[in-house]
C-alpha cells in the first residue's frame, strides 16, 4: 500500500496510518492536535532541534491556542508573549485540568471549565425582584447583632478589614436612632448575608439581604464620588460571590471593587498628590491599607483562576498593613506577597519559583482557611514550575507532597463543621490533578485519600457542583489508569 513520506507526531505515537496531509485524515476524525516534527539539517556542527508545526486548520490546534501546550517536549522558557500566556494558563486551575486531560486522551478530556470553583451552595437563588423594603423591614436589631457575631467569628479572622465597634455603632444608629444611611445599609446587608451563609441558614432572609446590597451598590456607581464605605460594601459582596456565584460574576465584581478603590484613592498614601482626582477622603491609615490589601488579593486570585487580567492600579503606593492577630497575620501578609510574585507579567525562572515554594512551605497559618490558601499557592507554584518543563528537584516535590497532606487533613476537619469556604471543594480537586500530573509512586499513593475527601465533600454538601467535581476527578483517574494500561501492554509486547 502507498505510505506517506512523513507521518504526523500523533499518528506516529499511536501507530496509526497517516496520509501526510495537514491536518491528516486520522487527526481530523479523532480531533487530535495534528502537527509534524521537522528535523533540520545540522549546520556548523550544531545539534539539530525538533520544531513542531501545528496544523492551523485542526480543531484541536485551535483549542491548544487557549490551553497550555499539551506537548511535553518544551524544556525552556522564552521572554515573549507565549511565555506570558503560559504563565497565565499555569496560574489557572481550569486550564491545568484541561491540559492534563488532553495529555491523557484528547477525545475524553474534561472540557475547559472551572470545576470546584466553590461549593455551589446557592445554585438556585430565591427570586427577590419584587422586594422593595429595607434592612429594618426584614431584621430586628437583635437578629442583626447575631449575624454580625457569626461574621466576626468566621470571616473576620481570615480577612479582617471591618471594625467591630463601627459595625455595632451602625446597628445602633439604624435601629435605635432610626438614622437611615444607604451605604451603611449596604455594609450591614453584606455582613448579614455572610452571617446567614456561615450559620447554615438557607433562608429567604439571606436572598433579601443580598438583593438589597446589590441594588444599592449598583446604584452607587452613578455617584460622581465614592467613599470608603462603598469599598467595604463591594468587598463584602465579592467575598459572598466567591462563596456562592459563578466565576465570571465574581471576577466582574472584583474588578468593580478595584475601580472603586481607584475612585476613592485608597491605593495611594495621603502624601501623594494627584491633580486629576478629588481630595482623598479622611480614613484611618490602617483601615485603608487593609482594604486595599484584601481587595488586591481577591482580584488577583479571581483573575488567576479565570485566566484573565487583574486590575492594575497605576502608581499604587499603599503600604502593607501592620500584622496583628485580627485577620491580618504575618502569614496573611506573606500570602499577599507570594500572590503578587506569581503575577504573569514577569517571567520567573526555576530558582525563583523554588525559593517561593520554600517560602510558602514554611508558612504556618493557624486558621483552617488560610491553611488551604497556602496549599492553593503551593499547587500554583507547582504548575508554574511544570508549564515550561523545568526539572523539579526531589526536595521541592517532597515539600509539595507535605503541603498536600496538610491540606487534606484540614479539609477533612472543615467538612466536619460543614464550612462553606470555597477551598473545601477547590483544593482537593486541584490536589487530584496535581498528583496525576506528578505521576510518581508517592503521588499516586495519595490519590485514594484525595478522592475520598472529594467524595466526602459531595456527600456532605450534596450540590450539583460538588457532584460534578467528584465525577470529573474520577474521570481523570480513569483516563490516567487507561493510559498506564496501554503503556503496560506495549511493555508486555517487548517481552
Spatial separation of the C-alpha atoms in residues 300 and 339, rounded to whole Å: 7
Cis peptide bond prior to 274, omega within 30° of 0: no
Return the SS3 of 123: coil
Name the residue ranges covered by the structural domains of the chain: 1-36, 135-306, 362-493
Spatial separation of the C-alpha atoms in residues 323 and 329, rounded to whole Å: 5
The C-alpha angle with vertex 221 and arms to 181 and 301, in degrees rounded to 5, equals 105
Question: Per-residue confidence of the chain (495 residues) as pLDDT tens digits?
Answer: 445 567 888 777 767 778 888 788 877 776 677 777 755 444 444 444 444 444 444 433 333 343 333 333 333 333 455 566 788 888 899 999 998 988 888 788 888 889 999 999 886 555 545 567 789 999 999 999 999 999 999 999 999 999 999 999 999 999 988 777 778 999 999 999 999 999 987 678 999 999 999 999 998 888 878 889 999 999 999 999 999 999 999 999 999 999 999 999 888 887 655 555 555 566 788 888 999 999 999 999 999 999 888 999 988 888 888 887 666 778 889 999 999 999 988 889 999 999 999 999 999 999 999 999 999 999 999 999 998 888 999 999 999 999 999 999 999 999 999 999 999 999 999 999 999 999 999 999 999 999 999 999 999 999 999 999 999 999 999 999 999 999 999 999 998
Spatial separation of the C-alpha atoms in residues 233 and 264, rounded to whole Å: 13
Spatial separation of the C-alpha atoms in residues 35 and 248, rounded to whole Å: 33
Q: Which CATH superfamily is domain 1-36 in?
A: Zn(2)-C6 fungal-type DNA-binding domain (4.10.240.10)
- Closest to 248 (Cα-Cα) out of 207, 306, 202: 306
Spatial separation of the C-alpha atoms in residues 129 and 109, rounded to whole Å: 40
For the stretch 310-331, what's the b/e string if a residue is b when 16 or more beta carbons lie within 10 angstroms of its beta carbon?
bbebeeeebeebeeeeebbbeb
- Closest to 381 (Cα-Cα) out of 443, 422, 430, 315: 430
Q: What residues are paired with 54 via a beta bridge? A: 35
Spatial separation of the C-alpha atoms in residues 34 and 27, rounded to whole Å: 6
451, 477 Cβ separation under 8 angstroms: yes
Q: What is the secondary structure of 292-352 as a DSSP string?
A: HHHHHHHHHHHHHHHT------TT--PPPPPP-SSS--HHHHHHHHHHHHT-TTS---HHH
- Closest to 425 (Cα-Cα) out of 385, 380, 459, 381: 459
Spatial separation of the C-alpha atoms in residues 371 and 194, rounded to whole Å: 21
pTM value is 0.81
38, 53 Cβ separation under 8 angstroms: yes
For the stretch 209-237, what's the b/e string if a residue is b when 16 or more beta carbons lie within 10 angstroms of its beta carbon?
bbbbbbbbbeebeeeeebbbbbbbbbbbb
Amino acid at each position: 500500500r502507498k505510505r506517506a513520506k512523513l507521518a504526523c507526531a500523533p499518528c506516529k505515537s499511536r501507530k496509526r496510518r497517516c496520509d501526510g496531509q495537514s491536518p491528516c485524515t486520522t487527526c481530523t476524525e479523532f480531533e487530535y492536535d495534528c502537527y509534524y516534527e521537522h528535523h533540520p539539517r545540522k549546520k556548523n556542527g550544531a545539534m539539530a532541534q525538533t520544531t513542531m508545526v501545528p496544523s492551523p486548520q485542526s480543531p484541536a490546534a485551535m483549542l491548544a491556542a487557549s490551553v497550555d501546550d499539551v506537548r511535553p517536549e518544551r524544556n525552556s522558557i522564552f521572554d515573549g508573549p507565549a511565555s506570558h500566556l503560559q504563565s497565565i494558563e499555569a496560574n489557572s486551575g481550569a486550564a491545568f485540568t484541561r491540559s492534563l486531560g488532553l495529555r491523557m486522551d484528547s477525545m475524553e478530556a474534561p472540557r475547559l471549565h472551572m470545576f470546584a470553583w466553590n461549593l455551589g451552595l446557592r445554585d438556585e437563588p430565591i427570586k427577590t425582584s419584587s422586594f422593595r423594603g429595607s434592612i429594618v423591614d426584614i431584621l430586628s436589631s437583635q437578629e442583626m447583632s447575631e449575624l454580625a457575631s457569626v461574621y466576626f467569628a468566621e470571616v473576620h479572622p481570615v480577612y479582617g478589614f471591618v471594625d467591630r465597634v463601627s459595625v455595632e455603632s451602625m446597628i445602633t444608629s439604624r435601629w435605635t436612632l432610626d438614622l437611615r444611611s444607604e451605604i451603611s445599609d449596604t455594609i450591614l446587608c453584606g455582613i448579614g448575608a455572610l452571617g446567614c451563609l456561615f450559620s447554615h441558614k438557607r433562608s429567604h432572609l439571606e436572598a433579601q439581604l443580598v438583593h438589597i446590597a446589590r441594588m444599592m451598590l449598583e446604584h452607587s456607581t452613578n455617584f460622581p464620588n465614592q467613599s470608603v464605605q462603598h469599598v467595604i460594601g463591594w468587598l463584602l459582596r465579592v467575598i459572598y460571590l466567591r462563596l456562592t456565584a459563578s466565576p465570571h460574576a465574581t471576577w466582574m465584581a472584583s474588578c468593580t471593587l478595584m475601580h472603586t478603590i481607584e475612585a476613592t484613592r485608597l491605593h495611594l498614601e495621603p502624601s501623594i498628590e494627584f491633580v486629576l482626582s478629588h481630595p482623598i477622603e479622611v480614613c484611618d491609615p490602617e483601615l485603608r491599607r487593609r482594604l486595599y490589601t484584601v481587595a488586591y488579593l481577591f482580584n488577583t486570585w479571581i483573575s488567576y483562576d479565570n485566566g484573565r487580567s487583574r486590575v492594575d492600579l497605576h502608581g499604587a503606593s499603599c503600604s502593607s498593613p501592620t500584622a496583628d492577630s485580627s485577620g491580618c497575620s504575618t502569614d496573611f501578609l506573606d500570602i499577599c506577597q507570594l500572590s503578587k510574585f506569581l503575577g504573569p507579567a514577569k517571567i520567573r525562572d526555576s530558582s525563583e519559583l523554588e525559593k517561593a515554594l520554600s517560602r510558602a512551605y514554611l508558612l504556618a497559618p493557624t486558621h483552617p482557611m488560610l491553611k488551604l490558601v497556602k496549599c492553593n499557592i503551593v499547587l500554583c507554584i507547582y504548575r508554574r514550575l511544570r508549564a515550561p518543563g523545568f526539572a523539579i528537584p526531589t526536595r521541592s516535590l517532597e515539600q509539595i507532597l507535605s503541603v498536600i497532606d496538610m491540606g487534606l487533613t484540614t479539609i477533612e476537619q472543615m467538612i466536619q463543621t460543614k464550612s462553606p469556604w470555597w477551598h473545601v471543594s477547590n483544593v482537593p480537586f486541584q490536589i487530584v490533578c496535581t498528583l496525576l500530573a506528578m505521576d510518581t509512586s508517592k503521588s499516586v499513593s495519595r490519590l485514594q485519600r484525595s478522592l475520598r475527601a472529594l467524595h466526602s465533600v459531595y456527600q456532605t454538601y450534596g450540590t450539583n457542583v460538588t457532584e460534578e467535581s467528584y465525577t470529573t476527578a474520577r474521570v481523570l483517574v480513569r483516563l490516567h489508569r487507561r493510559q498506564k494500561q496501554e503503556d503496560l501492554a506495549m511493555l508486555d509486547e517487548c517481552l
